[in-house]
Structure 1
Amino acid sequence: MGPGFLMSIAFLDRGNMEGDLQAGATAGDTLLCLLAARLGVATGKNLAELCLDEYPDWVRRALWLMAEVSMVRENI
């Protein structure tokens, strides 16, 4: 679950998925900040609040675990 995959879901239209995956592969986690900012402007909520409202408990825990693992992996 890399940032390119998340960005391809955020801007999903025909022919855009490959470009978003390539952008995520080269830009890394900076695109996630862009997605979070875009969500904040559109909804008035931060990413954690939206996850709390939209996802069941097991999905929120999986997202938390993936975020923790990615932070540990980045610092190694």
Structure 2
Amino acid sequence: MDALTLFGLFAVTAMLVCYALEARSPWLILAFAAACALGSVYGFLQGAWPFGVVEAIWAGVALRRWIRACQSPA
């Protein structure tokens, strides 16, 4: 496995874990957004630009969800 493949594996694994646990804390929603951003970088680096674009959109959606979660009363 080369470094790019390991980076991609890390990104999608982090996305899965953060998504599964995000109900526990708004910070896991933010971590999911960051993992999506890493997935986007991976997609662009490996030449799969549609994957990169979709992951960038997911990162934005998750970031917006985090902002809303922080604004709403607990």
Q: Could you say whether these structures have the same fold, taking a TM-score greater than 0.5 normalized by the shorter chain as the test?
A: no
Indicate the structure whose relative CO is greater, using CA pairs within 8 Å and at least 6 residues apart: 2
Structure with the largest fraction of helix: 2
TM-score class, shorter-chain normalisation, is 0.3 to 0.5
The normalised TM-score by structure 1 is 0.40
The normalised TM-score by structure 2 is 0.41
